[in-house]
Structure 1
């Protein structure tokens, strides 16, 4: 995928579907592959529907609701104060669905000499306070950061959890795939992606997932450790949201019900995401 591609777009179409059965979903890159899998299975038993799904970031999905261009906004973060005000000003009432939980994974090249890191050191790396790996690994090589654009919910989530501003040297990538490719080829690179994206193809990914400790001396926990996630012990875990205008609710209710059904929950879990509620 080239860097100038604004977002990935995956569309499931049924030519004979009417407008009240045509669902448009936009937003979070973290959620896009999962929602495609859910939509594919939903379509098998609801062939009168069509579901068009695109990524591009949580901010794009939320903006699409404000502009009347989507029925569901996938978001890996809650609405911010400005967004709440804009929906109120435009008289758009929303329903909020939390359908899964995700853990953000921090990745380095597979042979990188680091297995775990504490939150404090991670913040110094991503903020640019540490320019070199020397304080962490003893290697005096420049740190390359692979991150997301500011409209990404994952970008916002990591920034808030670490209480930092991202380094101006950080590379802004369009999604998980670009970050994975960048880090895979860069011995000095570090990036962050959804743990579900790591897990979806099994455990043979050509990157190393760092274990994270909340503080020096605390246990370091992997975002791939399901038991720790279920116990709420991983520092970078979060709910995944879907925001739905009241005017679209009747149209999307069957799809939301499928997500929450036994079959939908199994797809969520098999895709490397979690259900903790």
Structure 2
């Protein structure tokens, strides 16, 4: 084989990898949805490759900056400091809403408490309410679990439920949503929060009220109808320079077919 032909083949495969192979990283909330969509996308387009990993929203956005991912999954909007850092690096970031998510407050299945107000949640997660008997439960210490500070879910819960006030200093931070599910399942006095799609029979979701009158359980129906109060948008972020590479996948998740998968995976579709 002559050198020119070898160079041509090498350039062809490099071009193929650049256009067809995509890396997606970030929010653990968006992770299972993106994995499902990626699997279907690759079945329909077998010449394309999509690799999806978690780590949290902050990790995803940092990976955009480091050029170690093509799309960052995020369960919160990009912060001013993050956007400024990217701008200084001459990276023009683009934001796309891909779905909405209801954030469920969960307890151990044996817990008799079935509903809490926003004020009671604030008291629990800020350390002012420390025993379940203070909110109508049994005499048992409350064990509070949260996501770590790099998580978009951590940021959103702090904003929506705590009014941007700080969590209690002794809160138990978990590196992933699955770890919160496992911890609450194993701890009778536990409470935590997870994306609606992560709910299973091993934990119990709590009905929540923001007006102290109307209580709604976290469900897809209540979220779509606008009744459940803890709902947030989910995002993809990418560099403008990578548009040609990433837009086919983004357009796929935004299509009617993709949004139907959003709904089937326990998230609230845009359409």
Q: Structure 2 length normalisation: TM-score?
A: 0.90
Corresponding residue for residue 103 of structure 1: 102
> What whole-Å deviation, never above 9, does each CA across 1:180-221 have from its counterpart, x for those lacking one?
1111111100010000122xxxxx6121100100032x2101
Between the two proteins, the alignment pairs up a number of residues equal to 255
Corresponding residue for residue 230 of structure 1: 224
Deviation of 1:171 after TM superposition, in Å, equals 1.2
Contact 2:260 2:269 in 1 (8 A): no
* Deviation >4 Å, runs of 4+: none
In the alignment, the residues of structure 2 paired with residue 138 and residue 270 of structure 1 have an alpha-carbon distance, to the nearest angstrom, of: 34
Corresponding residue for residue 48 of structure 2: 49
Corresponding residue for residue 168 of structure 1: 169
Corresponding residue for residue 115 of structure 1: 114
Deviation of 1:138 after TM superposition, in Å, equals 4.7
| 1:52-201 equivalences in 2 (<5 Å) | 52-161=51-160, 162-163=162-163, 164-198=165-199
Task: Point out the more displaced range, 180-189 or 257-266.
Answer: 257-266
Corresponding residue for residue 201 of structure 1: none
Higher-Rg member (1/2): 2
Unmatched runs of 5 consecutive residues or more in structure 1: 1-15, 199-203
Corresponding residue for residue 22 of structure 1: 21
Q: Among residues 232, 238, 250, which one is paired with 1:256 in the alignment?
A: 250
Structure with the largest fraction of helix: 2
Query: CA RMSD for the aligned pairs?
Result: 1.5
> What whole-Å deviation, never above 9, does each CA across 1:104-136 have from its counterpart, x for those lacking one?
000001120111100000011001111222211
Contact 2:21 2:48 in 1 (8 A): yes
Deviation of 1:265 after TM superposition, in Å, equals 1.2
Deviation of 1:101 after TM superposition, in Å, equals 0.4
Unmatched runs of 5 consecutive residues or more in structure 2: 1-14
Task: Report whether the alignment pairs 1:210 with 2:209.
Answer: no
Q: Structure 1 length normalisation: TM-score?
A: 0.88
Contact 2:94 2:237 in 1 (8 A): yes
Contact 2:111 2:137 in 1 (8 A): no
Task: Report whether the alignment pairs 1:240 with 2:216.
Answer: no
- CA distance 1:105–1:138, shift in 2 (3 Å): closer
